[in-house]
Structure 1
Amino acid sequence: MLAAGGPIMAQERHLFLVVCFVMLFVIGPVLLLTPLFAWYYRLSNTKSVYRPEWAFNWPLEGFIWIPPIVIVMVLGLFLWNDTHTLDPYKPLVSDKPATRIQAVALDWKWLFIYPDAGVATVNQMVFPADRPVHLDITSGTVMQSLLLPRLAGQIYAMAGMTTELNLAADHPGDFSGENVQYSGDGFPHEHFPVRALAPGDYAAWLAAARADPGRLDLAGYKRLAAAREVSGPRLFGTVAPDLFHGILDQTMPGVRSADMTMKGMK
């Protein structure tokens, strides 16, 4: 989080630092007053006052209640604003169209489909660094959670449902992604490289991906999903049209993704 690689994580880092600063007003008095009280009321201090009948004190009550109330109000103000600003479904403002990627969580690997380019990757996500990225996310197995630590926060992937995530990279670079929801034996190995490329490099990568002889259709997807683990990244130069919705229909027959998005759930 502290080494933000994009605008979303930069905003989350700012919120984290604000919360840490505000919480100093909670932990600071505790750290200072605890040893002070222990020292003042030590057994050898005969000047400390013993008040067995003491029960109430207005200044002390104000000190106990007013600062926490102010702290909660300040945190609530920041969190309310940033919760809406950092809504994962909210598209990023840009003069360039977003790169669309459809992510599918499997045992124990990630499938990334590029519907506009007609290619797919396994255990590798690649996108251009000069524009936003829009992710549609689902699971072909148990519930998992996608985390791109330096680019965006985590969001869940659930079978038969679609969640969304918008992000961008500030510059070309290598990042990482992983599943952070325990999902069985292969969970410790379910992480993958994330590459943000310069426009020219991304165009060259797309050309190389399209030249790959691999083809992914619904039958191929079922074989891929049945494989317990896949070693290293894989490419598919051809992807069947609307494969993502076909995967959704496999886990929730007859229900389309538009009917089962987390944004529309009550």
Structure 2
Amino acid sequence: MRYGLLAVLIGVAMLGGCSEGVLDPKGPIAAADRQILLNSLGIMLAIVIPVILATLGVAFWFRESNTRARYRPNFAYSGRLEMLVWSIPAMTVFLVGGVAWVGSHDVSPRKPIVSSVKPLRIQVASLDWKWLFIYPDLGVASVNRLTIPVGTPISLELTSSGVMNSFFVPQLGSQIYTMAGMVTRLHLQADQPGTYRGFSAQFSGEGFADMHFDADAVTSEKFTQWLDGVRSAGPELNAKSYSDLVKPSTAVAPFTYRSVEPGLFDKITVSEMQSDDAMCRRYPTSMRAEQ
């Protein structure tokens, strides 16, 4: 009884860490990612558990005190045993690989989410050490806070101002890398209102620990109110203000820009607006001299 209670308490303690993570999805992409994990886990457990039981059974049967066990010191080969030993791992690889292959294509980062609602386009730039979110169709931007309407597909275009980073909101879906000079794409959606933790999953230097943000999923009415509030206050995001923003800084409190210079994200992508510090860390001195 005591051991059973102890096992339950340990299980509850372990599952307590599953909230606000990949096992607590709040959107269709995250739910599909969790299903891939659970399917893979089920397939592996279907193999691992019988193997563990068989190992314990063999050890118990061939114990020294069991006189019924046959001692065969000259045993060398068994075709049936070899077939069994190799077929199980091969079957595991095929099944897990098949689940991962099919599931990964279903939730491909570039694949738009099927919905009757028009997607909201957001451009994301990873800076040192903060996140810049530009809403090109709405003409506003924010730093270290992503605000999105519930039930609306989000079409993300991501790049980096310097070193490679990784954009990840576990409760909304897959993570994807941001790299200077190129654009990666990711589609997400939040089905429930709430604040979800986002962060960089790629070590990127001294301020990496503070490179996180909140993804606020709100109702359409609250999103409109947020948008009106942003447009009525705050600075303008242009080449000059971006040059100040891109300078390395840590633990930056979230703030917004009331307007955004058209084409700014494209200039960031083609490395026209990177800070000298970012360029120095991206290209060693010897490489810059050659250029």
Q: TM-score, normalised by structure 2?
A: 0.83
Q: Tell me the distance in 2 between the aligned counterparts of 1:19 and 1:76.
A: 9
Aligned position for 2:109 = 88
Question: Does 1:248 find its partner at 2:250?
Answer: no
Which residue of 2 is the match for residue 167 of structure 1?
188
* Contact kept? 2:180, 2:271, Cα under 8 Å: no
Match of 1:196 among 204, 217, 220: 217
- 1:21 maps to 42
Alpha-carbon distance between aligned partners in 2 of 1:155 and 1:109, rounded to the nearest angstrom = 16
Shift of 1:46: 4.2
Structure 1 pair 35–252 and aligned structure 2 pair: CA distance change class (3 A):
farther
Q: Is 1:52 equivalent to 2:73 in the alignment?
A: yes
Q: Report how many residues are paired.
A: 253
1:217 aligns with 2:238: yes
Deviations for 1:192-243, whole angstroms, at most 9, x for unmatched residues?
A: 1100110000000000011123111122111101141253101100110011
Deviates more, 1:188-197 or 1:58-67: 58-67
Per-residue CA deviation, residues 126-155 of structure 1 (Å, 9 max, x unaligned), is 011121000000000210001110001110
Q: Percent identity?
A: 40
**Contact 1:159 1:252 survives alignment (8 Å):** no
Match of 2:83 in 1: 62
1:51-130 aligned at under 5 Å gives the runs 51-130=72-151
* Corresponding letter in the other structure for 1:67: I
The 3-state SS of whatever aligns with 1:161 is coil
Give the root-mean-square deviation of aligned CA atoms: 1.7
Aligned to 1:262: none
Counterpart of 2:158 (choices 102, 119, 137) is: 137
Contiguous gaps of at least 5 residues in structure 2:
1-21, 275-291
Shift of 1:162: 0.5
Match of 2:250 in 1: 229
Unaligned runs of 5+ in 1: 254-266
How big is the shift at 1:64? 1.0
- Compared with structure 1, are the counterparts of its residues 18 and 127 closer, same or farther at alpha carbon in structure 2 (3 Å cutoff)? same
Query: Is contact 2:159–2:179 with CA below 8 Å preserved after alignment?
Result: yes
Corresponding position of 2:178: 157
CA positional deviation for 1:184? 1.1
| Rounded Cα–Cα distance in structure 1 between residues aligned with 2:41 and 2:54 | 20
SS in 1 for 2:71: coil
In the aligned structure 1, how far is the partner of 2:256 from the partner of 2:54? Answer: 60
Q: 1 CA distance for matches of 2:248 and 2:86?
A: 58
2:43 corresponds to 1:31: no
